Copies of this chain bind each other. A is one copy, B any other.
């Protein structure tokens, strides 16, 4: 092998070229639909209309491909998160509502990736340390952001003090994820079969927004006493 030229694309490794991004996009869709193991490199290369060997060529391996996918998408999120919450001058409830809207939008927008994230979280033997680390950071970032908002509200005396932010965040993400993954059940129950895919999605998003805002309001508002004895 001619050594001077055999520096495979994937060793450059921080910037991805258009072809790589295209492959990542296709892989994202398929991994979301069928799962990582059930998706073959042939599936991907077929849908992306590229040669089978391109995945290995560009990423080194299938494993590395999903790592690249996580790297790219994680970066997206990190950037978007901070922007949303720090600049504006808003009341705590407005801020919470904005956060809820932001997260719903973000997740529904990148539904495929979130689907993959959920799958990865389910895996006991984490796919790979790289992904585990990225996921951990992602989740920690989310948690810190929410903590900031809520602590601010608490300092202002608007929010209760006994708020379990982790569980609240768990409810927020859990509800959205659950809603998305049972979309078809949702359609049946609400009788939305005649609506288009998009109409149905925006319908569900709207309902979700209202539901989660009400929920957060209930959990954060001071007047509620905590007498919950089963």
> CB within 8 Å of B: which residues of A?
4-6, 32-38, 42, 45-46, 49-54, 94, 97-98, 100-101, 115, 118-119, 121-125, 136, 139-140, 143, 164, 166-168, 170-171, 173-179, 181-182, 185-186, 188-190, 207-211, 213-215, 217-219, 221, 224, 226, 228, 230
Q: Are B211 and A217 in contact (CB under 8 A)?
A: no
User: Which of chain B's residues have a CB closer than 8 A to the CB of A185?
Assistant: 136, 139
In contact, B42 and A6 (Cβ under 8 angstroms): yes
Known: A176-B174, A219-B215. A167 touches B208 (CB 8 A): yes
- Determine how many copies of this chain the complex contains: 4
Complex Cα distance A140/B114, Å? 25
Cβ-defined contact, B121 with A182, below 8 A: yes
Q: Do residues A217 and B228 form an inter-chain contact, with CB atoms below 8 A?
A: yes
Ordered by A's residue number, 30 sampled pairs between the chains whose C-beta atoms are within 8 Å are A4-B52, A4-B53, A4-B54, A5-B46, A6-B42, A6-B46, A32-B124, A34-B124, A34-B125, A37-B37, A118-B118, A118-B181, A122-B181, A136-B185, A140-B189, A166-B186, A168-B211, A170-B175, A170-B182, A171-B171, A173-B178, A174-B174, A174-B176, A175-B175, A177-B177, A213-B228, A214-B224, A217-B228, A221-B224, A224-B224
